[in-house]
Structures are given as structure tokens and as C-alpha cells.
């Protein structure tokens, strides 16, 4: 990045407050402009897309997402159609899911590759119970100048050996930290769905996220997209201590990270609330 042109990965409902707290993203060329050149979506979940409405005065919006995500955002949650009322609306750029890499115009030197993940389409999706490739993806992001790479995967229902190998090839993994345990929603008294029902792999358990991340040697490992029921958010909790004992970091709001840094740096985080 050149510090002027920025990519936004997902657009949460509190995007306006995020922009106000991030001076580098403040208007640059006009009274309603931002430094955001494009929005890259991992899925069509409400908590990842509602923030597009906060950018409506900056239309046309350049949005990169899979065809399945675009379909959901034109039907079950028709935010793309809603934004047609603003100048130019949404310009959808199809994200390939066959392993081909792509670049975003105006953001030189950054190469992205969508990684198809095991996850869930949103409850409002016409194919909620009929999974399609492209419902949920992560992104391998490579800086060709700095020769660094990170993997961004906020929604991940299952891990596998191929994905683990990919993670090992990166400098940093930003991975789903939504739930600590499978029945967390019921335990907290705020719902009945299991983590797997919602397309998330919990951290605990023999096949949990921590067990998989334990096998990684090279990259920094950072949990993102942390639900407010997850006890790892409590700094002195046994669960938080278990995470840190594994050499895994817990992201917090408002932080930044430098992929090339050798020591843990600040991280810009996506937290689900």
C-alpha cells in the first residue's frame, strides 16, 4: 500500500465510527471522499456488508466479491439494489474461485487470491441449506514489492491439511476466532445454535482452531471476528491464557499490524458483536 489507496475487507455496521477513528482513511479528494478504493467481501453476512450503506455518498462503490455473494446481496439482502438510488450504485467485480489471482485497480502491488472455505451462507440466503462454492471465502493477500503475504479468513467452519499448508506459507494468518466452544451461545443464554450451525470452528477441542494452529511454525497467528460471548475477550480468563500459551494473539479494536514486522505490532481488527 502507498498510504493513499486502501482496500477495505468487509464492511461492518460500525464502519462510520471506524473511519472517524482512522485518520489515514479520511476524505482526500472531495467533501465526501475516503481513501478506500475498493471493498473486498468474504461473504454476504449482515455484519460484513451493512457498512456499505455508510459509504453510499461515495458511490459508485467498487465491490469485489464472488458471484454467490453478489447474488445474496441482490436478493435475500438486496443491498446492491438499494444502493442503485445513489450515483453509480455498486460496481461488482467478480472474484474468481478457481485459484486465479487478481488485482484491484488503483491499489498497485497487491495481489489477491480467493480461498474457498467451508462455511455457511447467511440465514436470509436463498441457498442457506444448499451450500455453493463461493458462499464463503478467505483471501490470500500478497505484497509483491515487500514479498510478504497474509491470509484473512473471518468465517471458517472446518480446517483441512491443504488450508494448513497454505497458512504455513504466509507471514501472518488472521483467522476466525468467533467462538471458544461449540455450545457457547446456549451457555451464554443468547441463542441455541451451535458454532458449527453458524459456520464457525471453535477454538477449543481436539479438532478446534487452537489444535490446528499449534502445527504452524512460520506465521504470526491472530484470532479475529471474535463474538462478544467468547471468554477469550476477558484478559485474565483461563481461556485467554490458553490462547496466549499457544503463541496465538487475540485481536482488539483499533489496532494495526505490519506483516513484515518481526515483533507483534498493532492490528486492525474485525470483531463480531
Rounded mean pLDDT for each run of 10 residues along the chain, 273 residues in total: 82 92 78 87 96 93 98 97 95 98 93 94 90 96 95 96 98 97 96 94 97 97 97 98 97 83 42 33
The answer to whether the bond into 60 is cis (omega within 30° of 0) is: yes
pLDDT value at position 266? 39
Q: What domains lie within the chain, and their CATH numbers?
A: 146-273 (3.60.15.10)
- The distance from CA 79 to its chain's CA centroid, rounded to whole angstroms, is 19
Q: Residues 6 or more apart from 184 whose CB is under 8 A from it?
A: 195, 202, 227, 229, 230
**Which pTM does this prediction carry?**
0.92
| CB contact at 8 A, 140 and 166 | yes
User: Three-state DSSP class for 191?
Assistant: coil
Please tell me the distance from the alpha carbon of residue 201 to that of residue 94, in angstroms, as a whole number: 27
Spatial CA neighbour of 151 closest among 178, 118, 121, 176: 176
pLDDT value at position 272? 37
pLDDT value at position 27? 66
76 by Cβ neighbours in 10 Å (0-12 / 13-18 / 19+) ranks as middle
User: Three-state DSSP class for 223?
Assistant: strand
pLDDT value at position 20? 87
User: Three-state DSSP class for 14?
Assistant: coil
Amino acid at each position: 500500500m502507498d498510504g493513499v489507496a486502501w482496500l477495505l475487507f468487509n464492511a461492518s455496521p460500525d464502519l462510520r465510527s471506524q473511519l472517524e477513528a482512522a485518520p489515514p482513511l479520511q476524505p482526500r479528494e472531495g467533501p465526501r471522499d475516503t481513501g478506500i478504493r475498493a471493498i473486498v467481501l468474504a461473504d454476504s453476512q449482515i455484519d460484513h456488508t451493512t457498512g456499505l450503506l455508510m459509504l453510499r455518498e461515495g458511490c459508485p462503490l467498487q465491490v469485489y466479491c464472488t458471484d454467490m455473494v453478489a447474488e445474496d446481496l441482490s436478493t435475500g439482502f438486496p443491498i446492491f439494489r438499494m444502493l442503485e438510488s445513489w450515483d453509480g450504485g455498486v460496481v461488482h467485480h467478480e472474484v474468481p474461485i478457481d485459484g486465479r489471482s487478481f488485482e484491484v485497480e488503483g491499489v498497485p502491488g497487491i495481489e489477491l487470491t480467493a480461498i474457498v472455505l467451508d462455511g455457511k451462507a447467511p440465514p436470509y440466503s436463498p441457498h442457506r441449506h444448499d451450500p455453493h462454492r463461493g458462499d464463503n471465502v478467505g483471501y490470500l493477500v500478497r505484497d509483491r514489492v515487500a514479498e510478504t503475504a497474509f491470509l484473512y479468513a473471518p468465517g471458517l467452519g472446518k480446517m483441512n491439511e491443504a488450508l494448513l499448508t497454505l497458512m504455513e506459507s504466509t507471514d501472518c494468518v488472521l483467522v476466525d476466532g468467533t467462538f471458544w466452544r461449540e455450545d457457547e451461545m446456549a451457555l451464554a443464554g443468547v441463542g441455541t445454535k451451535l458454532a458449527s450451525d453458524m459456520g464457525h470452528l471453535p477454538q477449543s477441542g481436539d479438532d478446534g482452531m487452537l489444535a490446528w494452529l499449534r502445527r504452524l511454525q512460520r506465521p504470526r497467528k491472530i484470532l479475529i471476528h471474535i463474538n462478544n460471548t467468547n471468554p477469550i475477550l476477558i484478559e485474565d480468563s483461563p481461556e485467554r491464557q490458553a490462547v496466549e500459551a499457544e503463541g496465538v494473539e487475540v485481536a482488539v479494536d483499533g489496532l494495526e499490524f505490519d506483516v513484515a514486522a518481526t515483533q507483534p505490532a498493532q492490528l486492525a481488527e474485525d470483531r463480531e458483536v
